[in-house]
Chain A
């Protein structure tokens, strides 16, 4: 017995200490990542976001059609199924039927019936609409496509493929949040830090201004600001204008949180120690206050991107934001405004699905980040 008690002493504690030392060398960021990874919802949210952003970045490749590819003879086509079994049995390559359009002579309503005499196989790496990849390489390869009417979730009033428009629209809708949040992070963290660190009259004035800003009803304010955008601006200019408007209105919350964090950190003993050593204000700000606020800023940013996305969607839905021919999820939903359209072509509402998914995914990620932001609390 005594042998057993003494022998494991030498190798075991060494191993344990090595492990402990290993953990001790993990930086704050590594600790946060360890904790973040453990949240299953966050991983799901992360996967959803990565998928959507990949789709948006390589929209030309993933979308079967160009977003402006219209076909007046195929308006309001309902979602088309992809078939494996035809009249002649099983096909390894899925295929589509052609479409026959009939018009109700009384109501003028268009209905489509599958034309079983025509079949079109679905191709991977299909040669479809031409595009320039990142404005550099001219090509016409799409991940998936067909010679026939390949409209998986239908077409809109101009006969444009909705799925392609969703993928392209994601470019605007997903980045308007990022750019907007980026701008409001810059505004919010600078003003919040100033307000918190210097305090006094600056602080009071700034806080009252933020209160004023946040007490304004948003929709009339959006309308006023959007009306201020010149109507002859191009789509890109309007887009930039919208991001600036959204960020100008949303920096207040972030500034407040940063201020609170700075106020709390300013009184920490390690800041006093730095001052006792003779560190300058600038050093303390850059070395202690901002890094401590970073995690907070990232969490707030992640949680406020959905707000930006919804803001863009709402503005565009009201016809105040992104204007056609540029497309975004809000623009797509704008087309689903009329009740008759929704009744006859409910697939026009599908663009709300990515909005919901992305917003929920951002919230999952943001929540997990917030929980992970303090990895030292056990």
Chain B
């Protein structure tokens, strides 16, 4: 019998980091450590680390080019074993989100950006939403549904 109740928020972490590139590894390690309490598989942890790294890199490279800004990360763990990640900035914003989400699309090919960031985020999570406003900033919300213990009898 599927549980139709709205999943309850179990735990939450808020993290604020300046847009320094050394914080890419810090952010993914901290988020992975927090998410560990939901007992993710090795592969699920790797997915989470990767998508956090992508989103934070976007903030550093695109949202705050040549300037320093603040990256806001919120991680929530829900009773249905889903993890909700929000990575937000108050940077330059994205004019055309649909175009930005296209695989291989990049605004900075000269600095060897692969244009695969959003594609990776979308592929490694179950849900991704991008909201952006020019001059106001961007928020990327991703939901990762961890596999169900009861189904796998672990």
**A and B together in one complex:** no
Interface residues of B (CB under 8 A from A): none
